[in-house]
């Protein structure tokens, strides 16, 4: 199970890795992380088609995770489920616009983030559709 973690901030990427751990939940496969700090690298990796779930920092600079999510949903064939991290509750509407499959709050709530990623992993494994869930 490959999880892409995008943020310009290495500390944010580390917090996401720590929150999810080796497995987001019991019964799910072990996670291999792909950490990325730039927008072009995100699209290059998504184009490979080997990412199962992506966690994108909505506060990343210069390219935010919500814009990347929207573009990925438009351009990547069989785009993996994407969780967007948002810092302001009022940005939830932007996450909906971005077509994110899930949302988690910054600062990171480890339990909520792991549960949200576990839900996306399960959807990816079963091939079911997705709805925006708020964590």
84 Cβ contact list (under 8 Å, min separation 6)? 56, 58, 65, 66, 69, 95, 98, 100, 102, 103, 104
Q: What's the rounded Cα separation, in Å, for the pair 127 and 135?
A: 21
The pLDDT value recorded for residue 135 is 37
Q: 6 pLDDT band (50/70/90 cuts)?
A: very high
pLDDT digits (tens, 9 = 90+) for 100-110: 999 999 999 99
Which of 11-15, 46-50, 90-94, 114-118 is predicted least confidently? Answer: 90-94
Q: At 15, give phi and psi (nearest 5°).
A: -65, -40
pTM to 2 decimal places: 0.91
Q: What's the rounded Cα separation, in Å, for the pair 59 and 104?
A: 12
pLDDT digits (tens, 9 = 90+) for 85-123: 999 888 888 888 999 999 999 999 999 999 999 999 999
Q: What is the mean pLDDT of residues 69-95?
A: 92
């Amino acid at each position: 199970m490959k999880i892409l973690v995008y943020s310009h901030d290495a500390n944010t990427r580390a917090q996401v890795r720590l929150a999810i751990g080796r497995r987001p939940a019991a019964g799910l496969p072990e996670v291999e992380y792909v950490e990325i700090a730039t927008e072009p690298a995100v699209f290059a990796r998504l184009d490979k088609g080997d990412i199962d779930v992506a966690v994108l920092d909505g506060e990343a600079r210069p390219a935010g995770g919500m814009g990347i999510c929207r573009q990925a949903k438009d351009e990547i064939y069989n785009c993996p489920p994407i969780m967007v991290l948002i810092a302001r509750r009022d940005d939830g509407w932007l996450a909906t616009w971005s077509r994110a499959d899930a949302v988690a709050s910054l600062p990171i709530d480890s339990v909520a983030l792991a549960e949200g990623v576990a839900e996306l992993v399960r959807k990816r494994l079963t091939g079911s559709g997705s709805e925006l869930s708020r964590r």
